[in-house]
């Protein structure tokens, strides 16, 4: 169990300047995406009929709920640096769906931001949160 927990919360072993850069990246990108998700969350709980794309055929409400989960809940986890690598995955998937499916016919101008966010989430998933994160605190307690 100790090894599994260490792997899940692996924050990477980076110098302080790299960890500081990762902190800035996580907080900024997390906050930016949180602002997108917050409006969607308000729509989800407004009681009005859901008007949201259904690119995967699961229904507009389920699609909106999945987007809200990624953009709100996972963004908060990334800001905190908690389960960061895993929290980045739903966001990466959401951005790939937005870029390649939802905006497929809208041209690169509409796809660009989603794909840029996707590259950032892929990078975070690959390298982790850095030393200034809850992941780092948790993984060091496991040693």
Dump pLDDT digits (tens) for 74-85: 999 999 999 999
Of 45, 94, 86, the residue nearest 69 (C-alpha)? 94
State the burial class of residue 55 (Cβ atoms within 10 Å of its Cβ: 0-12, 13-18, 19+). Answer: middle
Give the number of domains in the chain. 1
Report the percentage of the chain scoring pLDDT > 90: 60
pTM score, whole prediction: 0.88
d(C-alpha 28, C-alpha 92), whole Å: 16
The residue-averaged pLDDT of 17-29 equals 97
Number of H helices, E strands in the chain: 7, 0
What is the domain extent for residue 128? Answer: 2-7+14-141
Mean pLDDT of the chain: 89
């Amino acid at each position: 169990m100790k090894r599994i927990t260490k792997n899940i919360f692996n924050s990477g072993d980076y110098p302080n300047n790299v960890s500081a850069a990762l902190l800035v990246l996580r907080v900024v990108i997390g906050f930016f995406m949180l602002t997108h998700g917050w409006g969607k969350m308000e729509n989800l709980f407004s009681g009005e009929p859901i008007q949201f794309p259904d690119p995967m055929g699961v229904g507009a409400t389920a699609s909106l709920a999945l987007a809200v989960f990624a953009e709100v809940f996972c963004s908060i986890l990334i800001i905190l640096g908690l389960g960061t690598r895993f929290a980045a995955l739903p966001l990466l998937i959401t951005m790939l769906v937005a870029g390649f499916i939802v905006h497929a016919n809208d041209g690169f101008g509409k796809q660009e931001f989603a794909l840029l966010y996707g590259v950032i989430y892929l990078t975070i998933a690959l390298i982790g949160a850095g030393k200034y994160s809850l992941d780092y605190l948790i993984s060091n307690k496991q040693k």
